[in-house]
């Protein structure tokens, strides 16, 4: 059971102690509990033993970098993850999104921006879990041909096979599948997956789409339901 937003536990993983200190102060001032780690190896052990509500990971770290840490975490959990990355790490950013990161923040960043991104990701995760705890409500599932998405349980299947999605991936796909054949612009998909005050660029949405396609193709090589209309946006193919 996740805790209320103001009591959520945030795991902060970075080998820069100045960032650990400044970000911890900013998050704690908002009411969050913060657990800090200086390398990926110790973080993997700590996050496995004491799962937080959200993890903020630096990419470049000793012993185990953020990418490898995310890879190992994704084998066991859909824990929301935000990456911290330097301005010159665009390739790493794209790769991280493909691996299942929920968001990216480039260094240097404002503490206010970080807090807003944390709130947005936690709000989506908490809303999903709150819905799942109301068994008396009629199940809110979306069926589009071979695609079945259950919002309450945050489950997704294609041809009966489970497809594990992050919170952000789930929201983007659900937005597309709600109206097959209707083109959704990147801005519209951003609105579906992020709070209005949170800025993300076009490349972030594109990377999430690429990750979605890859996950479905692992289940079905012939999956071609998410179509790109270059210069316009994306749509879920009409059944």
Tens digit of each residue's pLDDT (9 = 90 or more) over 94-130: 666 666 788 888 888 888 889 988 988 888 777 666 6
Q: Is the pLDDT of residue 24 over 50?
A: yes
In angstroms, what is the C-alpha Rg of the chain?
A: 18
As annotated, the residues of the chain forming the CATH 3.40.50.2300 domain(s) are: 5-131
Cα–Cα distance measured from residue 212 to residue 209, given in angstroms and rounded to the nearest whole number: 5
Q: Which of 169, 182, 163, 179 is nearest to 223 (CA)?
A: 163
Coil vs helix vs strand at 195: coil
Written out in words, the top-level CATH class of the domain with range 5-131 is alpha beta
Which residues make beta-bridge pairs with 57?
Answer: 13, 83
As annotated, the residues of the chain forming the CATH 1.10.10.10 domain(s) are: 138-236
Range in 37-41, 112-116, 165-169, 181-185 with the lowest mean pLDDT = 165-169
Give the pTM. 0.58
Cα–Cα distance measured from residue 142 to residue 175, given in angstroms and rounded to the nearest whole number: 11
Question: How big is the CA angle at 202 (ends 198 and 203), to the nearest 5 degrees?
Answer: 110
**Residue range 138-236, CATH number:** 1.10.10.10
Cα–Cα distance measured from residue 37 to residue 42, given in angstroms and rounded to the nearest whole number: 7
């Amino acid at each position: 059971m996740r805790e209320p937003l103001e009591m959520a536990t945030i795991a902060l993983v970075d080998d820069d102690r100045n960032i650990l200190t400044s970000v911890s102060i900013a998050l704690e001032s908002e009411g969050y509990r913060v657990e800090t780690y200086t390398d990926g190896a110790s973080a993997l052990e700590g996050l496995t033993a004491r799962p937080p509500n959200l993890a903020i990971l630096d990419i470049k770290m000793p012993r185990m970098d953020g990418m490898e840490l995310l890879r190992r975490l994704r084998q066991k959990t859909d824990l929301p993850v935000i990456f911290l990355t330097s301005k010159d790490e665009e390739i790493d950013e794209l790769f991280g999104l493909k691996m299942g990161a929920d968001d990216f923040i480039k260094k240097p960043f404002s503490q206010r921006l970080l807090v807003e991104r944390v709130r947005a990701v936690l709000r989506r995760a908490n809303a999903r879990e709150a819905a799942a705890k109301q068994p008396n409500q009629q199940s809110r599932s979306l069926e589009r041909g071979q695609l079945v998405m259950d919002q309450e349980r945050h489950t997704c299947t294609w041809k009966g096979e489970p497809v594990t999605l992050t919170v952000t991936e789930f929201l983007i796909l659900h937005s597309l599948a709600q109206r097959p054949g209707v083109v959704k612009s990147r801005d519209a998909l951003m609105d579906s997956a992020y709070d209005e005050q949170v800025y993300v660029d076009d490349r972030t949405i594109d990377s999430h789409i690429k990750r979605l396609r890859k996950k479905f193709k692992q289940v079905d090589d012939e999956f071609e339901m998410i179509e790109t209309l270059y210069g316009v946006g994306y749509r879920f193919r009409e059944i």
